[in-house]
Chains A and B, each alone.
Chain A
Amino acid sequence: MDSNIIIKLNNVNFYYGNNRALTDISMTFRKNKVTALIGPSGCGKSTLLRLLNRMNDLIDGTRVEGEILFEEKNIYDPEIDPVEIRKKVGMVFQKPNPFPKTIYNNIAYGPKLASNNTGDINTLVEQSLKQAVLWDEVKDILNQSAMKLSGGQQQRLCIARALAMKPDILLMDEPTSALDPISTAKIEELIEELKKNYTIIIVTHNMQQAARISDETAFFYLGNLVEYNKTEKIFTNPDVKHTEDYITGRFG
């Protein structure tokens, strides 16, 4: 596998019960790049994202075919522990979902479970919050409940919480759809910054956002991967007419 490639999907099909949500997906994700997944509602973007950290395992009656290689290993191999995958592949959800704990404990939650030496959790908390550009706003209220933060702050906290695990990959499912334009801009800046050290895969319904922040873009339709290319190419000169129609808003 090319050393620039971090995840490789080979002929992946995914089923919710008898419903096929993804059809024969083969694609690769490149290291330290931002990849945007776009497409109309229900086309399988979230499903694909959740396949990459085995979150779909939590839903009863789902089934995966094909293989998803991460670090050369198929993460759906029966010998692989999904818990280990999730430690390396972090996730940020559409709706900010901090725990009803203090800001500090939100960040410390994952690392404390992951290692038995509680090493330097304080430093890690500070570092993660700084990375998520939240430190200055919360450094004096670390012992306050995270539920009291604004939506935008909560989302950055969730990003910091994911970063505290030092993942290789960060999955983001419409991370700014619940936020105002200012918080959205902050998170977009943050993504720019994070891609130096992380591979980011982001689902978004916002075409400008995809164009602004991503290096590659994949367009999905009804569970199929229609077109996958450099973002610039997708947004200026897509190969498939369907893609162009979607991007220019000619169909929803």
Chain B
Amino acid sequence: MTRHIKEIIIKYVFFSFALVSIVVLGMIVFSLFREGVPIFKVVSLKDFLFGTEWYPTFDPPLFGIFTLIVGSLIVTIFATLLAVPLGVMTAIYISEIAPRAIKEILKSIIEMLAGLPSVVLGFFGMVVVAPWLQNTFDLPTGLNIVNASMILALMAVPTISSISEDALYAVPHEFKEASYALGATRFETIAKVIVPAALSGITTAVMLGMARAIGETMVVLMVAGGAAAIPESIFDSVRPMPASIAAEMGETPYRSAHYHALFATGMVLFFLTLAFNLIADYVSHKFKQTGSATP
């Protein structure tokens, strides 16, 4: 066999492995759409997305998922507000400030956090955080937005901090030396040179952390409370999309309207996650070209 033929074979072997994952992904998306789209024979796209009544088992059923979308977005946004400072600060501390021993300890703690099954975190939210919230703020239930956001934040922190950390490590040593040589302090160097140079990576980290939070099912199923209503306070319960799908899918008859509605909810979730990934991608490319976000 000539070297040339060998190379062609190797190329196609790798290509077919890559193809497998693409094909599987395509099939998943296809079945999602096949099972989801029929709901629009029953309800218009507008009523589906913006209807605030989710009563899928009533007669006649009402399929408005706006409250579920709001539930998902609100816990994701609050989780992000908590997780970004925590995750980014941790990454900065680990990569730029911490002495070696502390750095190693912190890194393994974060890895452990990343490895915790979400059901364990959800359980923690249920039996520790919920009663505490309920007693401290005198609430009817501790299963609410605050609880879900905190637990989701805990899940997003490892994603955000480990990807940010890689981005910070990738900042060339020369930039730091240049900054110090100009009489900058360590904190000026971090704030004005290192973080801006790593900003595209940090933004990607945040986006991926958000994508992780919005798609997370078990935690929101266990601690968000499950109320399909527009919340009026951060201590209200919500019913994020994944929680709704997971809770209801077991009880819906195959290919009923309710079944299709849940798949269509999955489609919405899919598009939201896709959007986060596209933004992450766009941001990382945009900033890479100019090298920095600061003009």
Write the residues of chain A forming the contact surface with B, with a CB cutoff of 8 angstroms: 53, 55, 58, 83-84, 86-87, 90-91, 93, 95, 97-102, 105, 109-110, 113-114, 143, 145, 147, 158, 161-162, 165
Distance in Å: Cβ of A142 to nearest Cβ of chain B: 11
Query: In the docked arrangement, what's the CA distance between A53 and B181, Å?
Result: 8
- Contact between chains at A58 and B177 (CB < 8 Å): yes
Q: Closest CB-CB distance, A164 to chain B, in whole Å?
A: 8
Q: Is B184 in the interface zone, CB < 8 Å from A?
A: yes
Select one of A91, A100, A161 contacting B292, CB under 8 A: A100
Residue contact B294 to A113, C-beta cutoff 8 Å: no
Can you pick out 28 interface pairs between chain A and chain B where the beta carbons lie within 8 Å of each other?
A53-B181, A83-B185, A86-B181, A86-B182, A86-B183, A87-B183, A90-B182, A93-B181, A98-B178, A99-B175, A99-B179, A99-B292, A100-B175, A100-B197, A100-B290, A100-B292, A101-B291, A101-B294, A102-B295, A109-B182, A109-B184, A113-B188, A143-B295, A145-B290, A145-B291, A158-B178, A161-B178, A161-B182
Q: Are A55 and B175 in contact (CB-based, < 8 A)? A: no
Q: With A97-B175, A101-B196, A113-B192 given, is the CB distance from A90 to B181 under 8 Å?
A: yes
Known: A162-B182, A165-B183. A105 touches B291 (CB 8 A): no
Structural contact, B184 and A113, CB atoms closer than 8 A: yes
Q: How many residues of B contact A (CB 8 A)?
A: 22
A98 to B185, CA, bound (A): 18
A109 to B185, CA, bound (A): 12
A95 touches B174 (CB 8 A): yes
Chain B residue numbers with a CB within 8 Å of A102 are 295
Nearest A residue to B189 via CB reads: A113
Judged by a CB distance under 8 angstroms, whether B193 is at the interface is yes
Contacting residues, chain B, for A158 (C-beta < 8 A): 178
Residues of B59-91 whose CB lies within 8 A of A: none
- Residues of A with C-beta under 8 A to B271: none
B55 at the interface (CB under 8 A from A): no
Contacts of A53 in B (CB 8 A): 181
Q: Which of A93, A98, A105, A161 is B294 in contact with, Cβ under 8 Å? A: A105
Q: CB within 8 Å of A: which residues of B?
A: 172, 174-175, 177-185, 188, 192-193, 196-197, 290-292, 294-295
- A143 and B291 CA atoms in complex are apart in Å by 13
How many residue pairs link A and B with beta carbons under 8 A? The number is: 75
* CB–CB A101/B292 < 8 A: yes
Contact of A99 among B178, B183, B188 (CB under 8 A): B178
Q: Are A83 and B291 also in contact (CB < 8 A) when A100-B175, A109-B192, A158-B178 are?
A: no
A53's closest neighbor in chain B, by CB? Answer: B181
Which of chain A's residues have a CB closer than 8 A to the CB of B182?
86-87, 90, 109-110, 113, 161-162, 165
Tell which of B181, B193, B196 has the most Cβ of chain A within 10 Å. B181
Q: How far is the CB of B4 from chain A (nearest CB, A)?
A: 39
Q: Is the pair A97, B174 in contact by a Cβ cutoff of 8 Å?
A: yes
CA distance A158 to B181 in the complex (A): 11
| Chain B residue contacts of A83, Cβ below 8 A | 183-185
Q: Which of A97, A102, A145 counts the most chain B CB atoms within 10 A?
A: A97
- Report the minimal beta-carbon distance from A196 to chain B, rounded to whole angstroms: 23
Q: Which chain B residues border A109 with CB–CB below 8 Å?
A: 179, 182, 184, 192
B180 and A86 form a contact (CB under 8 A)? yes
Across the A-B interface, the 9 shortest Cβ-Cβ residue pairs: A100-B291, A87-B183, A110-B182, A97-B174, A91-B181, A86-B183, A100-B292, A97-B178, A147-B291
Task: Flag if A114 contacts B291 (CB, 8 Å).
Answer: no
In addition to A58-B177, A110-B184, 17 A-B residue pairs with Cβ atoms within 8 Å of each other are A83-B185, A90-B181, A91-B181, A93-B178, A97-B174, A97-B177, A99-B197, A99-B292, A100-B175, A100-B196, A101-B291, A101-B295, A109-B184, A113-B183, A113-B184, A114-B183, A161-B178
Would A58 and B174 be within 8 Å (CB), given that A100-B197, A100-B292 are in contact?
Answer: no
Once the chains bind, are B174 and A93 in contact (CB under 8 Å)?
yes
Cα of A162 to Cα of B290 in the assembled complex, Å:
22
When chains A and B are docked, how far (Å) is the Cα of A156 from the Cα of B78? 47
User: Residue on B with the closest CB to A60?
Assistant: B100
Is B294 touching A55 in the complex (CB atoms < 8 A)? no
Bound form: Cα–Cα A53–B180 in Å:
10
CB-defined contacts of A87 to chain B, threshold 8 Å = 182-183
Residues of B within 8 A of A162 (CB): 181-182
Task: Tell me, in angstroms, the Cα distance from A113 to B187 when the chains sit together.
Answer: 11
